[in-house]
Structure 1
Amino acid sequence: MTTAKRDTYTPETLLTVAVRVFNERGYDGTSMEHLSRAAGISKSSIYHHVAGKEELLRRAVSRAIDGLFRILDEPGAVRGRAVERVEYVTRRTVEVLMAELPYVTLLLRVRGNTKTERWALERRREFDQRVSALLKAAVADGDLRADVDIRLATRLLFGMVNSLVEWYRPHPEGAVTGPGGADGAWAVDDLPGTVVRLAFEGMRSAGR
């Protein structure tokens, strides 16, 4: 096993490796030995930085969660009509997913078997509830159709957004590769806008 030089090794590089391994093997299927081999360092070196693999999980999902909740405090999420705010939040959620793909992927795959996973699931529910409240407000404003069930709309919206982790991969030339491979690539800047258009054009009230 190749040992990494101690002076070039950082907690951030360990976290990057841990997230990759968690996503490949599943959190439950990952041992400290797996992490040690993937990072190219001894287990004692890992324990020098973290208490164990659950701390790595907490740091990883916190990075994704913090990125999502920061969106809710941005000007576009708190100013203007509710429909504009929820469209903004949706667009930015896609952008955060694209920027933090491995971390958001891990967040969406937690199962609730540990204290950290249960905390992450609760925070996800809180984020979903905040978005659902914006959808309800947009319906009350008359900007979204009143005949659309809000709970269903919320599930469908996040179902579409969250599914991106299963097929979205950054393309070296500045495009993203979709399910069709290189032939199905789009410009990166178009993906968030496309999601918003697909999600909301069918929900907007006539004339809005």
Structure 2
Amino acid sequence: MTTSPRRRGHDPESVLRTAVGVFNERGYDGTSMEDLARALGVTKSAIYYHVPGKEQLLARALDRALDGLFEMIADERASSGRAIDRLEWVVRRSVAILVDRLPYVTLLLRVHGNSPTELRALERRREFDRFVSALVKEAAADGDIRPDIDPALVTRLLFGTVNSITEWYQPGRGATADDVAEAIVRISFDGLRV
């Protein structure tokens, strides 16, 4: 008899959460549907009750990571006021989103464009990067960022720092998301401001 993920306490959300954990542990390409079934304690066919395949789980996971960023840049606080203040707000919110969606963002940062789903996610990441780069350029044009630092480099360094959180942050152990955001903003913006 086949055990349904629902009967074992699984719903689409728990299937996704478990899949993301396995993808992060084994790598997306190194994870089979059998690996996912084993992690869920069900048969492969039971997973297909919730999703057509592994690629759809990846798409949902990557959207979970990216949707938070795009909701943030649609917020009025990302589009009104001085560019330097908006940039600081975006950095703080990005840290909060990353910490809140840590496994999903970790997976996003590990994709390489090996599938149409990964390519779509990478294009969305580039779109977000362009938004941030425009903020940095605007802050530089306003005279709020030191003119001797290339705005493209500022963007890479800021978000390289934010993205590195996926490698070391452990929720509930030490600093909170607000603590981390405050440290990044102080260190980065104190060096950037004129």
TM-score range for the pair, normalised by the shorter chain length = over 0.9
Shift in Å at residue 75 of structure 1?
2.4
Greater shift, 3-12 or 14-23, is seen at 3-12
Once the two structures are aligned, what percentage of the paired residues are identical? 58
Equivalent positions of 1:87-166 (< 5 A) are 87-166=88-167
Q: Which structure shows the higher strand fraction?
A: 1
Q: Which residue of 2 aligns with 1:193?
A: 182
Deviation per residue, 1:137-173 (Å, 9 max, x gap)? 00111111111111111111111000000000111xx
Shift in Å at residue 187 of structure 1?
4.2
Shift in Å at residue 4 of structure 1?
6.7
Q: Which structure shows the higher helix fraction?
A: 2
Q: Which residue of 2 aligns with 1:20?
A: 21
Q: Which residue of 2 aligns with 1:31?
A: 32
Q: Which residue of 1 aligns with 2:6?
A: 6
**Paired residue secondary structure (1:6):** coil
**Whole-Å separation in 2 of the counterparts to 1:139 and 1:19:** 38
CA contact (8 A) 2:65 2:105 kept: yes
Amino acid at match of 1:57: L
Amino acid at match of 1:164: I
Amino acid at match of 2:17: T
Q: Which residue of 2 aligns with 1:180?
A: none
CA contact (8 A) 1:4 1:40 kept: no
Deviation per residue, 1:50-103 (Å, 9 max, x gap)? 111000000000010000111101222111100000100000000000000000
Amino acid at match of 1:52: G
Amino acid at match of 1:32: M
**Runs of 5+ in structure 1 lacking a partner?**
172-176, 178-184
**Paired residue secondary structure (2:117):** helix
**Paired residue secondary structure (2:175):** strand
**Whole-Å separation in 2 of the counterparts to 1:25 and 1:187:** 27
**Paired residue secondary structure (1:58):** helix
**Runs of 5+ in structure 2 lacking a partner?**
none
**Paired residue secondary structure (1:127):** helix
Shift in Å at residue 191 of structure 1?
1.4
Amino acid at match of 1:61: L
Amino acid at match of 2:6: R
CA contact (8 A) 1:138 1:144 kept: yes
Amino acid at match of 1:29: G
RMSD: 1.3
**Whole-Å separation in 2 of the counterparts to 1:137 and 1:73:** 18
Quickly say closer, same or farther: Cα 1:132–1:5, change in 2 above 3 A: closer
